[in-house]
Structure 1
Amino acid sequence: MAVLRTAALVGAVLLTGLGAGLFYSYACSVMPGLAQVGDRAFVDTMQRINTAILNGWFMLSFLGALLLTAAAGLLQWRGGDRTVLLWIAAAAALHLVVLIVTGTVNVPLNDRLAAAGAPDSLTDPAAVRAAFEEVWVRWNLVRALASTAAFGCLTWALALSGRTA
């Protein structure tokens, strides 16, 4: 059982790190880079990114991190160290923040951006961008911070679990 607990926790750490890195890279490079382009290019690029990101690799890290964190917590609850469990629970709560923000803010903004139509056909791409960019960037920063904090919690849980094994 200890090997399974450790494997679930290592998997949760790895997938959470991938997700945190993704949101971090948007916050510190992708969105600042796109802030420098024209409105049509911005809309076109974000529409393409929002389509491209819907793939199995992204879903593996995005949903898999939460599932493995929950599995690690359940395995820890069934015979592991309670201190480790508290750090895993904190990470799970932070994962839920990321999931809720994504589902209630970022995805609906992505959907509205897609519904705006092809960038070449937009009469006012600046308005489409204005309705999207600032809010999306702000809430992506929340996702970056929450997922990075979850990564830290899980990393600490893994370190603690190594000391008690």
Structure 2
Amino acid sequence: METARLASLIAATLATGLVSGLFYGFSVAVMPGLKRTGDRTVIEVMQRINVAILNGWFLLGYLGAFLFTALALALHIPSDGREALPALIAALVCCTASLVLTGKVNIPLNNALEKAGPVTRIGDPAAVRRAFEGPWVRANIWRTLLCTASFGFLCWALYLHGG
């Protein structure tokens, strides 16, 4: 049982770190870089990223962060390692909030961008960009902060688990 507790905690920490890093990369590099480009470029690049990111490796990290954190929490409840429970609960709350935010804001914006159609056929690319970019970037900053907080709580739980 101890091996399963530690393994789930390590898996949760790694998956959350990867997702946090992905969102951070968008916050500090991808979106600021795209901000300096034309409307059609932003639309086309984000449409392509939204298709490319839907793969098994992304889903393993994205869904794994939640599932492994929930598993680590469940496995720590009946253990002697209860001192890690507050950190695990906080990590799961932050991870869940990030998933909800993504589902309520980022994914619908991605879907709307896709529904705009091929970039060459969009009549008013500036309007499509305005409807997408600002709200998407703000939500991404929040999910970056939430995932980073979750990662920090998981690191703390690892410390408490081993201490």
Shorter chain as normaliser: what TM range? over 0.9
Mapped partners of 2:76, 2:151: distance in 1: 17
SS of residue in 2 equivalent to 1:54: coil
- Is residue 49 from structure 1 mapped to residue 32 from structure 2 by the alignment? no
Q: How many residues align?
A: 163
Structure 1 residue 135 corresponds to structure 2 residue 135: yes
Unaligned runs of 5+ in 1: none
Matching residue's letter, 1:120: T
Match for residue 109 of structure 1? 109
How far apart are 1:49 and its partner, in Å? 0.4
Identity of aligned residues (%): 50
Report the equivalent of 1:77: 77
Cα distance in structure 2, aligned partners of 1:29 and 1:97: 23
Partners of 1:127 and 1:83 lie apart in 2 by: 51
Give the C-alpha shift of residue 2 in structure 1.
1.0
Counterpart Cα distance in 2 of 1:161 and 1:87: 10
Shift of 1:81: 1.9
Q: One-letter code of the match for 1:39?
A: D
TM-score (norm 1): 0.97
Unmatched runs of 5 consecutive residues or more in structure 2: none
Counterparts of 1:111 and 1:4, CA distance in 2: 38
Per the alignment, residue 153 of structure 1 pairs with 153
Match of 2:14 in 1: 14
- What is the rounded CA distance, in whole Å, between the counterparts of 2:115 and 2:40 in structure 1? 15
Shift of 1:131: 0.3
Report SS of the residue matched to 1:69.
helix
Residues of 1 paired with 2:79 and 2:96: CA distance? 24
> Which letter does structure 1 place at the counterpart of 2:52?
A
Instruction: Report the Cα offset of residue 31 of structure 1.
Output: 0.2
Amino acid at match of 1:2: E
* 2: CA distance, partners of 1:79 / 1:28: 40
- Report the Cα offset of residue 80 of structure 1: 3.5
Q: Structure 2 length normalisation: TM-score?
A: 0.99
Alpha-carbon distance between aligned partners in 2 of 1:12 and 1:85, rounded to the nearest angstrom? 14
Please state how far the C-alpha of 1:110 moved relative to its aligned partner: 0.3
Q: Which ranges of 4 or more aligned residues in structure 1 deviate by more than 3 Å?
A: none
Moved more, 75-84 or 144-153: 75-84
Cα distance between partner residues in 1 of 2:45 and 2:92 = 32
For 1:131 and 1:80, the matched residues in 2 are separated by: 50
